[in-house]
């Protein structure tokens, strides 16, 4: 309602409005049957042109955020135990987080290193910024 039409070129009429379900079927962009077998109800594999479309949207979002001055991060998938203790609730350790023990073969480092899979990128980002002081008052 608020978009003003500046000019119209050629024949402009609505042929048919397609839903996202119609469009994904038209481009053969997913496999929901095998996805449901593997991941359960509502599971799907995105494939072909839909994967390229999703990646293009991600690239556009990254470019827009970068152009606006945001720092783009791609976080690691593991966090060392001592760092995870700083950024996660202790109740998460036993109930929610997957622990990975890295066996140490080096004689000068006698202990194994414990790491955790991150649950979300917020944990790694919080650790990344843990020594940064932010003044929220201008």
What is the end-to-end Cα distance of the chain in Å, rounded?
38
Answer yes or no: is pLDDT of 68 > 80: yes
Q: Name which of 49-58, 85-94, 108-117 the model is least confident about.
A: 85-94
pLDDT one-digit tens code per residue, 77-111: 999 888 888 887 766 666 777 888 888 777 776 67
Who contacts 121 (Cβ-Cβ below 8 Å, separation ≥6)?
Answer: 73, 75
Q: How far is residue 53 CA from its own chain's centroid? A: 16
CA-wise closest residue to 86 among 58, 110, 116: 116
Cα–Cα distance between 119 and 128 in angstroms, integer? 15
pLDDT, one tens digit per residue, over 21-41 is: 999 999 999 999 999 999 999
Q: What does the chain come to in residues?
A: 138
pTM of the model: 0.66
Task: Identify the band that residue 62 occupies on the pLDDT scale cut at 50, 70 and 90.
Answer: very high
Q: Judge whether 73 and 128 are in contact, CB under 8 Å.
A: yes
Q: List the domain boundaries for the chain.
A: 20-67, 78-128
Beta pairing partners, 30 = 46
pLDDT at res. 1: 65
């Amino acid at each position: 309602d608020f978009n003003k039409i500046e000019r119209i070129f050629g024949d402009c009429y609505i042929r048919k409005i397609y839903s996202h379900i119609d469009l994904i079927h038209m481009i053969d962009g997913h496999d929901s049957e095998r996805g449901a077998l593997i991941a359960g109800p509502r599971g799907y594999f995105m494939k072909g042109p839909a994967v390229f479309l999703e990646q293009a949207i991600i690239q556009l979002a990254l470019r827009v955020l970068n152009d606006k001055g945001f720092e783009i991060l791609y976080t690691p998938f593991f966090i060392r135990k001592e760092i995870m203790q700083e950024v996660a609730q202790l109740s998460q350790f036993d109930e929610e987080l997957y622990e990975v023990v890295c066996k140490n073969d080096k004689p000068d480092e006698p202990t194994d290193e414990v790491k955790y899979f991150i649950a979300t990128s917020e944990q790694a980002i919080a650790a990344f910024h843990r020594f940064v002081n932010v003044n929220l008052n201008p």
